[in-house]
Amino acid sequence: EAGVAQSPRYKIIEKRQSVAFWCNPISGHATLYWYQQILGQGPKLLIQFQNNGVVDDSQLPKDRFSAERLKGVDSTLKIQPAKLEDSAVYLCASSLVWGQGSYEQYFGPGTRLTVT
Amino acid sequence: QQQVKQSPQSLIVQKGGIPIINCAYENTAFDYFPWYQQFPGKGPALLIAIRPDVSEKKEGRFTISFNKSAKQFSLHIMDSQPGDSATYFCAASSPDSNYQLIWGAGTKLIIKP
């Protein structure tokens, strides 16, 4: 079974530029999560999708971050414009079912973003 | 009340030793407690998980001990190996928070040869 795929793996941009990250979850996984992980910290949830609907985006800085999952499969996270403090690893995770007792989340390798 | 407190922040153990990482929580609605292992440059990987209806779960060299009354759970690694050197995160989840994972701060474990 293929895992969660993410691209690119690394990205360096200047502040005020825009950037987009792509995620393809495990086949059949209805729930998709985007996390931000700053070095030395645990992952922080940015947004949670169930199929193509948003379950929770309360911690997404909506003035600069946006995310979509149009067909309920792959997803894109965008930052526009980027700030220095956005330097982090952006992780995508997926889980089989939400709300029916299946909690296991499987993570992709992440995209390391450096904003200069 | 949504926090999960993890300790220690870092841990160095000799090969063959048994590192123990502890987590504590306050929210009694939590009903799922996973441990994730993360190597540098990789995403977290689910290691083992427990629900509060059991006090212990073992998978290979990894064991979770769960104390519901104390609201604590811990990870034990038997016969630790240098390849176990990684950052370990505990987490907790509940139905009333969209099953989102509440993460501990992480423990950086080093196993010395």
pLDDT of residue A114: 97
In the block, tokens 């423990």 appear at: B107
A103 and B32: CB-CB below 8 Å? yes
In the block, tokens 């931000």 appear at: A36
B62 touches chain A (CB under 8 A): no
Rounded Cα distance, B35 and B104, in Å: 10
A93 touches chain B (CB under 8 A): yes
A105 and B101: CB-CB below 8 Å? yes
pLDDT of residue B97: 80
Mean predicted lDDT score pLDDT of chain B: 94
Strand partners for A2: none
pLDDT at B78 over 60: yes
B98 and A55: CB-CB below 8 Å? yes
The vertex-A2 CA angle with A57 and B97, nearest 5°, equals: 25
B92 → chain A, closest CA residue: A103
B98 and A56 Cβ atoms separated by less than 8 Å: yes
Write out pLDDT tens, residues A15-71. Answer: 999 999 999 999 989 899 999 999 888 999 999 999 889 999 999 999 999 999 988
- Which token pair is B105? 């701060």
A33 → chain B, closest CA residue: B100
Q: Residue type for A112, please? A: R
A91 and B104: CB-CB below 8 Å? no
Rounded Cα distance, A8 and A114, in Å: 12
pLDDT at B34 over 90: yes
A110 and B43: CB-CB below 8 Å? yes
pLDDT at A106 over 60: yes
DSSP string, B15-26: TT---EEEEEE-
B64 and B57 Cβ atoms separated by less than 8 Å: yes
Q: Which of A88, A111, A99 is nearest to A40 (CA)?
A: A88
pLDDT at A101 over 60: no
B104 and A42: CB-CB below 8 Å? yes
In the block, tokens 């989340």 appear at: A105
pLDDT at A88 over 90: yes
Give the dihedral sign, CA A90/A93/A99/A101: negative
| B49 sits in which H/E element | strand B45-50
Other beta carbons less than 10 A from residue A80's beta carbon = 13
Rounded Cα distance, B16 and A28, in Å: 40
B43 and A45: CB-CB below 8 Å? no
pLDDT at B3 over 80: yes
pLDDT at A103 over 90: no
Among A42, A55, A99, the residue with its CB nearest the CB of B89 is: A42
| Alpha-carbon distance A112 to nearest alpha carbon in chain B (angstroms) | 9
B44 vs A contacts (CB less than 8 Å): 43, 91, 107
In the block, tokens 């530029």 appear at: A17
Strand partners for B103: B91
Backbone phi, then psi, for B72, in 5-degree steps?
A: -135, 150
